[in-house]
Amino acid sequence: MKKRIIWGLAMMLCLTAILPAFAAQHPWDCSCGQTGNTGNFCPSCGAAAPKPDGAWNCSCGQTGNTGNYCANCGLPKPDGVPQTPEEMFQQGMNYLNGANGFPQDYRQAFTWFQKAAGQNHAEAALQLGILYDNGNGVTKSEREAAVWYLKAAELGNEWGMAYIAYMYEMGQGVKQDNQQAFYWYQKAADLNNPTALNNLGVMYQDGKGVASNNKEAVSLYRKAAELGNEWAMCNLAIMYIYGLGVEKDGDRAVYWLEKSAGDGHARAMYYLGMLYEQGDLVKKDLETAYEWYTKSADAGYEKAIEWLNQL
C-alpha cells in the first residue's frame, strides 16, 4: 500500500510538471462568452487560457513562461532570441537593413516577418508584401504582395491601406476595382497618409470610383502637399495652371512646382519649363525654361527629352 501511495504521489508530481506554467493568475474571459475563468481551460468550451503578453517557450517543451526562468526545468530565458511579435519584427528589420550587427539577408528577413505577421503584427505583414512586390528573398508575386498588403490594411496599417488601394486601382495581383481602390485610399487618407491623399485626389479629378470633383481634388492635393508629397505638390500646381477647382494663379503654381522640383520631381521641372516658355502666367524667360527642361530631361522625363530633341 505504501508503495502505491508513493507511486501515486510521483505521478501527480509528473503531471504537475507538464501543466502549463501560465495557469491563470487573474480571471480571464473566453471568446465563447464565458467570463471570470481562473483555470487553464474554459469550463464552458474547453478552450485554453490565452498566454500573457511576453510569454516565451523553452527548449524543454514548456510553453507560456512569463518570468526569466522556465517554470518546468529552470533554464533562463534565452537572451537575444525574439519571442514576441514585435521582437520578431525588429529581428526582420535587422536582416532587412543589415543593422545592429546582422548581415543583410532578405530570406532571413522574410522568415522573421512571417513569424511576426502570423501573430497579427501589422507592419510585419506590410514588409512581407513589399518583399513579394520586389522579389527580395522570395519569388516576386503581385498576388502574394496583395494578400499581405490587405492583411496589413485590415490590421490598421496606413501604408498597407495605401498599397492595397493602388493594387486595386492598377489591377495588380487583384482584379481591378476602382470602388475598392477608393475605399482603401479613403481609409488611409483619414489617417493623413500623404500618398493616399494624393491618389484619392487623382480619383476625384478623374472620376474613378467616385463622381468627378476638382474642388475636392484640390483640397486633397493641398493636404498631401503640405505633408511633403512631391506628386501632390506638382498636381496642385497643375490645378493652378489650368484653373481646375481653383482660380488660375501663376505665382502659386510656381511655388508648388519649385517645391516639388526641389524634391527631385522631374514632372514638376518640366512644367516649370513650360510656364517660362509660354509666359502666360509668369514672365516669359526662355533661358530659365531651357534650364528646367534640361533638368527634367536629365531626370528621365520623356516629354522634356522630346522637347530638347526638337531644338
User: Is 50 exceeded by the pLDDT of residue 30?
Assistant: yes
- Residue 33, Cα to own-chain centre: how many angstroms? 33
- Whether residue 22 lies inside any domain: the answer is no
* pLDDT band of 34, cuts 50, 70, 90: confident
Q: What confidence category does residue 82 fall into, taking pLDDT thresholds of 50, 70 and 90? A: confident
**Residue 248 near residue 279, CB atoms below 8 Å:** no
CATH number assigned to the domain comprising residue 105: 1.25.40.10
For 189-205, b where at least 16 C-beta lie within 10 A, e where not — what string? beeebbbbbbbbbbbbb
Domain assignment present for 93: yes
Which residues sit opposite 65 in a β-bridge? 56
Phi–psi pair at 104, nearest 5 degrees: -70, 125
58 domain residue, yes or no: no
Structure confidence by residue, pLDDT tens digits, 172-191 = 999 999 999 999 999 999 99
Could you tell me if residue 109 is inside a domain?
A: yes
More confident of the two residues 33 and 121: 121
How confident is the model at residue 56, as a pLDDT? 63
**pLDDT above 70 for 273:** yes
Confidence of residue 143 (pLDDT cuts 50, 70, 90): very high
Neighbours of 296 (CB within 10 A): 27
Share of the chain above pLDDT 70, in %: 84
CA distance 92 to 128: 10
147 in any annotated domain? yes
Compute CA distances 108 → 138, 227, 307, whole Å: 10, 34, 47
Is 265's pLDDT higher than 50?
yes
Q: Is residue 87 part of a domain?
A: yes
Is the predicted pLDDT of residue 282 greater than 60, yes or no? yes
* pLDDT for residue 33: 81
Residue 1 has pLDDT above 80, yes or no: no
Q: Higher model confidence: residue 136 or residue 29?
A: 136
Distance CA 229, CA 285 (A): 28
pLDDT confidence of residue 41 = 76
Predicted confidence (pLDDT) per residue in 241-259, tens digit: 999 999 999 999 999 999 9
**pLDDT for 152 beyond 60:** yes
Cβ neighbours of residue 147 closer than 8 Å, sequence gap 6 or more:
129, 173
State the DSSP code for 58.
Answer: -
Answer yes or no: are the C-beta atoms of 165 and 188 closer than 8 Å. yes
How many domains would you assign to the chain? 1
Strand partners, 42: none
Average pLDDT over every residue of 80-96: 88
Mean pLDDT estimate for the chain: 87
Residue at 171 is within a domain: yes
Domain that holds residue 184: 83-188
Q: What is the model's pLDDT at position 47?
A: 76
Q: Is residue 130 part of a domain?
A: yes
Res 119: pLDDT: 96
Mean pLDDT throughout 263-281? 96
pLDDT at 155: 98
pLDDT grade for 7, boundaries at 50, 70 and 90 = very low
Enter the pTM of the model: 0.73
